[in-house]
Structure 1
Amino acid sequence: MADSTSDGAVPRQPTQRELNRVAVSSLLGTAMEWYDYFLYGLFAALIFDELFFPELPGAAGSVLALLTFAIGFVARPLGGVIFGHLGDRLGRKTTLIVTLLIIGTATGLIGLLPTYSQIGVAAPILLASLRFIQGLSLGGEWGGAVLMVVEHAPENKRAIYGAMPQLGSPIGTVLSSGVIALVTLLPEESLMSWGWRLPFLLSFVMLAIALYLRLKVEESPVFRQLQAESESSEDERAKIPIVELVRSSLPQMFLVIITCLFASGGFFLMTTYAVNYSTDVLGMTTSLVLTATLVGAVLEAIAIVISGRLGDRFSPATVVTGGGLLALVMTVPVAILLSSGHPLLAATGIALGIGVLGVPYGPLGTLLSQLFDDTHRYSGVAVSYNIAGLIGGFVPSLALALQTQLGDTVWVIGLLFAVIVGMTAVGGRLSGAMVRKRLQPF
């Protein structure tokens, strides 16, 4: 991309203060979004079968509760198309404000829902509808947050700054797990009647804070320059990003999909499904499983920061590839720990499985931004990443179905985890080769 606008002026580069503001805004915004998302996932695994599917026998209620969780992943590619188009045409900032408002409102409304015992079958229908809206919004959030930071950052610090939105994932995990741990201290009757609503209602407060911060940031310099250049070209303005994406970037989309499966499939295998498996099959207490999730999130956050720095020293593709290989190696000890039968060892396995995913996750956003051109970068990242999210969203339900057929074996987790992170290593390697072939500065 050119370094100057159509009138020859070089766009003003953000100051360090502005860059820090963008990084903090993206971090807190994605933390709030992931808090909402993980909150639903944890409650889907723990109690939503009793609240919204009490008439179904045995594991059927749990499967349907997890399937409502997967509904959000169905919505994410559609959200990627819609908000990707808005992000490429109207701007990153405007689009991110809209996604934040939608998911914060939808999550808060879940806390106001009547249950099955109050309104019957309408309750799970409303729950699934709000879950769909959550997913629609998240389909446009992460990609936009990554691009805002990467497109503001200097070239030699794009991987570490680009890792900031990824930190929203472990922070959201810590917040959601911590809040759930607190409300589960309530007597069971109180938890099932009103206590479960509190974490969702808290989303309204978080929405106000995150929205205030997001309104303070400036639009991406890359988008401002692209907008200035397109003002002199009607053909450029007439382009539809998703059409241009499909026409010119299908190989990049495929690589993003296989590389990013770990970010949803691997993560939710080690959280949503592992929570269900550990409590129902291994007999672990909910508090211990949530503690393991919290520790895993802290380990993941540390890994994200370290791998982000390594991404600037080497390359994002190199670190993503190495992270996938490291996670593949860790599959065996994680599965052994989970199958040990000892609650503390099993909890350690969950924490390690979550934590190791932070290694490829740190520089992932920066790698993805290098694969697409300016004119459809938001659409490219959002649509491809969320197709991977759609596939990965069904991993917990697939694992539960395999568990039902094969028996209560922990190696279901190990097998699926190995396949997913192995694809990350392959995708990272191939993505790196493509970046080297076509990389353009932006």
Structure 2
Amino acid sequence: MDRTQPAPTAAPASGALPARATMSKQAKRATHAAFFGFGVDYFDIYLPVVALAPAIHFFQPKGIPPTVETTIFYLTFAATLLGRPVGSIIFGGISDRVGRRNATLIAVAGFTVSTFLMAALPGYAQWGYGGIICLLLLRFIGGIFMGGEYTSANPLALEACPAPRRGIVGAYIGGAYPIGYIAISAVTLPLLSFLPGGSAGSAYQEWGWRVPFLVGGLLGVAFFLFFYRSIDESEAWKAEAAKEATATDSAQEKKTPLRALWRDRVVRRRLLQMMLLMTGLWFAVQSVISPVSGLLITYLKQDAGAVTTALLLSNVALFLGYLTFGHLGQRYGRRRLLIISGIGTVVVSVLGFLAMLMILQNGGNFTLAMVLYTVSLVVSISPFGIATVYLIEAFPTRMRASGYGVAYSVSLVIPSFYSFYMLGLSSFMPYIYTPLVLIAIGGVLTTLGAKIGPETRDASLTEVVAA
């Protein structure tokens, strides 16, 4: 496959960084807004994993088997992940048709309201299974709006960014994930210190878990106000909209950017390649990150406060990993780094995760176990510091939000059922070791997806990468 791409400016020599480009005030505002919005998004996504994990019995009956209890806990996380692809499809079209800014504002308002409503839910004692059903429903609806937020805000930011800075800016925006995780941990840890959540009827289990949800809602309000007052519409989108308004042959394509993704052979092939890559990266997320707090707290009976603290520190390291991968991707090429990281996931991340589990299962040193987990985390998840910009660079302006949103989020659907894969694998291997299989699958798919794709480092965001 020919991996050439348009280069509107002279490409830098291999391995050399291009000259420093100056970012406009609008580009800086849009970048910080995208970072903040992504951070709020991930804060809300991981509310069940961090804030609700110590109080999950509030929504569950007593006496259920630990495996079922853990699976219900995972479903509160998966519900949001399943909503995000729906939101990306819906809001990708909105963003491409009516503008990135308007789509972002609608999306932020939606997930903010959903988060506030979750903070008010009653538990199993009041509503029986109705409480957990409403929680799952609100998580799904919130996920739809969360998918719309980054599908609109991230293209807006990168369209305003000069090409020599896109790798770093994309990594900075993507790094909002660990920052969001750190923020929710910082909110939850003091609550767990003063309101222990390990016993039924404790203050944290009855009402303390609601505080992080309220904080998540307030962050959504702050982001909406900042975006509304400070961010202008994307100039690239406005230029494309003006061009298509006078071009009758592209009018239908403007109305249906999602259909346009499949009608264009080059774009369709690029979309499928990006979805393969992202499926691998999402498998890594779902196997390295999502099960950990549940496995450690519920299954291996580790202290909730110690686990939350350790994961907070791990995510500080992950943020640095995002920035490092973004810099290396800008210097040596996004595709090359993604291939290397996929191989590293299969080898390094699998071994690190395995060592962590074996140490804790045998009563070994908790600190050493979490250091090994951090290595596994950084190797397998830091490539997300490249993924956002790599995907956005792959699609033309008229369908960029739709292409990015579908590739980024629809790829999440299959990996979202990781808890069921773990249950199925547990029929012939110990349950706590089942994430290892999924980690390896993620690494293989990431490597293949990057291998068949293009290098996009020098691509123009007004053109599509050639097949």
Q: Alpha carbons of 1:51 and 1:401: their partners in 2 closer, same or farther (altered >3 Å)?
A: farther
Amino acid at match of 2:282: S
Which residue among 385, 397, 403 is the counterpart of 1:380? Answer: 403
Distance in 1 (alpha carbons) for counterparts of 2:185 and 2:428: 30
Q: Alpha carbons of 1:221 and 1:19: their partners in 2 closer, same or farther (altered >3 Å)?
A: same
Aligned to 2:32: 24
Aligned to 1:426: 448
Distance in 2 (alpha carbons) for counterparts of 1:323 and 1:145: 26
Aligned to 1:8: none
- 1:156-305 matches, cutoff 5 A: 156-185=164-193, 186-188=195-197, 189-215=202-228, 216-239=230-253, 240-248=256-264, 249-305=267-323
Say if 2:44 and 2:216, in contact at 8 Å, map to a contact too. Answer: yes
- 1:43-442 matches, cutoff 5 A: 43=51, 45-48=53-56, 50-54=57-61, 57-58=64-65, 59-185=67-193, 186-188=195-197, 189-215=202-228, 216-239=230-253, 240-248=256-264, 249-330=267-348, 331-341=350-360, 342=364, 343-403=366-426, 406-410=429-433, 412-432=434-454, 441-442=461-462
Distance in 1 (alpha carbons) for counterparts of 2:135 and 2:461: 44
Q: Alpha carbons of 1:404 and 1:138: their partners in 2 closer, same or farther (altered >3 Å)?
A: farther
SS in 2 for 1:272: coil
In the TM superposition, structure 1's runs of 4+ consecutive aligned residues that sit over 6 Å from their partners are none
Distance in 1 (alpha carbons) for counterparts of 2:187 and 2:419: 22
Residues 296-334 of structure 1: per-residue CA shift (max 9 Å, x gap): 211111011111122221222222222222222312133
Say if 2:107 and 2:146, in contact at 8 Å, map to a contact too. Answer: yes
Distance in 2 (alpha carbons) for counterparts of 1:160 and 1:346: 31
SS in 1 for 2:289: helix
Distance in 2 (alpha carbons) for counterparts of 1:139 and 1:377: 15
Distance in 1 (alpha carbons) for counterparts of 2:385 and 2:169: 10
Q: Alpha carbons of 1:36 and 1:334: their partners in 2 closer, same or farther (altered >3 Å)?
A: same
- Cα deviation for residue 83 of structure 1 reads 0.2
Aligned to 1:6: none
Amino acid at match of 1:228: A
* Structure 2: runs of 5 or more not aligned: 1-5, 9-20, 463-467
Instruction: Please tell me the root mean square deviation across aligned C-alpha atoms, in Å.
Output: 2.4
Query: How many pairs were matched up?
Result: 429
Say if 1:318 and 1:432, in contact at 8 Å, map to a contact too. Answer: no
Amino acid at match of 1:224: K
Say if 1:259 and 1:427, in contact at 8 Å, map to a contact too. Answer: yes
Quick one: percent identity of the two aligned structures? Answer: 24
Say if 2:396 and 2:461, in contact at 8 Å, map to a contact too. Answer: no
* Structure 1: runs of 5 or more not aligned: 4-12
- Cα deviation for residue 389 of structure 1 reads 1.5
Say if 1:301 and 1:358, in contact at 8 Å, map to a contact too. Answer: no
SS in 1 for 2:233: coil
Using structure 1 for the length normalisation, give the TM-score.
Answer: 0.90
Q: Alpha carbons of 1:160 and 1:2: their partners in 2 closer, same or farther (altered >3 Å)?
A: closer
Amino acid at match of 1:379: S
Distance in 1 (alpha carbons) for counterparts of 2:280 and 2:314: 15
Residues 65-107 of structure 1: per-residue CA shift (max 9 Å, x gap): 3223222222222211110000100111111111111112211
Say if 2:55 and 2:204, in contact at 8 Å, map to a contact too. Answer: no
- Cα deviation for residue 18 of structure 1 reads 1.9
Amino acid at match of 2:379: V
Aligned to 2:12: none
Distance in 2 (alpha carbons) for counterparts of 1:122 and 1:141: 29
Using structure 2 for the length normalisation, give the TM-score.
Answer: 0.85
